[in-house]
């Protein structure tokens, strides 16, 4: 059986924030934070999984500038990870969600960890898919080019690098690179085609450039994220695509240093792990949240 998914839009600071929702609001909430260049569409399989939604309440928002949410220009809205985390926090508050778990991926990791720093008492657990909180894993060739952009954002070769990241070829590469040949038929083209549609909107290139530049603020926050892990010890499930060239597996291992209650899994696939392994990951999430949220704390009401 598949669950019913609801598609909603709410006004936050005069911007439309779109989110997908499934499951009963009375059950523990899992908030799914997407990455670049995607949207809440990447969580469609989890949102439709009846075994998950019969016990949990799932919400997956689109950030401002992504998917079906508003896309103000860079002159109207400053695209920073701080600002996206604030809008996400306002959405959570508007939906009257008091406690929740976070599924963080890619850009969703620094957004989710900012939420945790500001609201540690609200965070019940983390599920981490290819999202960094350590310097390990952002020291490869890809990040060397990103760091050049951070250092000299107006230099032509650095601008060309950023423009290359939002092409159809690169978007498709993000979905298929690192995926085993036998699994490539599992990757629906809908993902990279729809992502590219949103990237190609006039003005969206500037948005992505501004946000990628602001990603340079995240490594400076890694020590604070790590201190949060050590102090609050949120239960954590890692479901990482080990062949990802953007967030390679080297970024997954350091979590072991700081998190005591850690369920650690690497998958033989690339960046968008859920495209090929959503059934296995859904099963692991069900086990993890049942053990750490339902069994430990009882069914919490939001």
Which positions are catalytic?
271
Report the Cα 295 to chain-centroid distance in Å: 26
Task: Find, among 145, 157, 135, the residue nearest to 250 by Cα.
Answer: 135
User: How far are the Cα atoms of 67, 187, 254, 274, 288 from residue 40, in angstroms, in the given order?
Assistant: 7, 16, 27, 12, 22
131 contacts 105 by C-beta, under 8 angstroms: yes
Three-state SS letters, 232-254: HCCCEEEEEECCCCCCCHHHCCC
CB count in 10 Å sphere of residue 116: 20
Judge contact between 52 and 46, C-beta under 8 A.
yes
- Residue 44 CA: distances (Å) to CA of 6, 271, 284: 11, 16, 17
**Residue in the structure block whose two tokens are 């990447």:** 42
d(CA 38, CA 106): 10
Residues in the chain: 302
């Amino acid at each position: 059986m598949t669950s019913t998914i609801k598609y909603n839009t709410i006004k936050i600071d005069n911007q439309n924030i779109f989110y997908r929702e499934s499951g009963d609001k009375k059950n523990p909430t899992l908030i799914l934070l997407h990455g670049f260049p995607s949207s809440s569409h990447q969580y469609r399989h989890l949102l439709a999984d009846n075994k998950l939604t019969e016990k949990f309440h799932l919400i997956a928002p689109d950030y401002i500038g992504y998917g079906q949410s508003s896309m103000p220009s860079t002159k109207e809205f400053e695209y920073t990870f701080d600002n996206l985390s604030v809008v996400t926090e306002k959405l959570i508050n508007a939906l009257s969600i008091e406690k929740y778990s976070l599924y963080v991926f890619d850009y969703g990791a620094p957004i989710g960890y900012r939420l945790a720093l500001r609201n540690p008492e609200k965070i019940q657990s983390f599920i981490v898919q290819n999202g960094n909180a350590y310097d390990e894993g952002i020291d490869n060739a890809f990040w060397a080019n990103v760091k050049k952009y951070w250092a000299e954002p107006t230099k032509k070769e650095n601008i060309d690098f950023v423009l290359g990241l939002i092409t159809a070829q690169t978007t498709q590469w993000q979905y298929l690179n690192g995926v085993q040949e036998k699994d490539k038929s599992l990757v629906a083209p809908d993902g990279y085609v729809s992502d590219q549609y949103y990237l190609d909107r006039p003005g969206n290139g500037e948005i992505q450039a501004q946000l990628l530049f602001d990603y340079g603020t995240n490594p400076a926050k890694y020590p604070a994220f790590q201190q949060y892990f050590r102090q609050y010890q949120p239960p954590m499930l890692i479901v990482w695509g080990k062949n990802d060239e953007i967030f390679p597996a080297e970024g997954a291992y350091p979590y072991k240093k700081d998190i005591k209650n850690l369920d650690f899994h690497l998958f033989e696939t690339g960046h968008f792990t859920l495209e090929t392994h959503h059934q296995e990951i859904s099963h692991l999430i069900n086990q993890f949240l049942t053990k750490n949220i339902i069994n430990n704390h009882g069914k919490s009401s939001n």
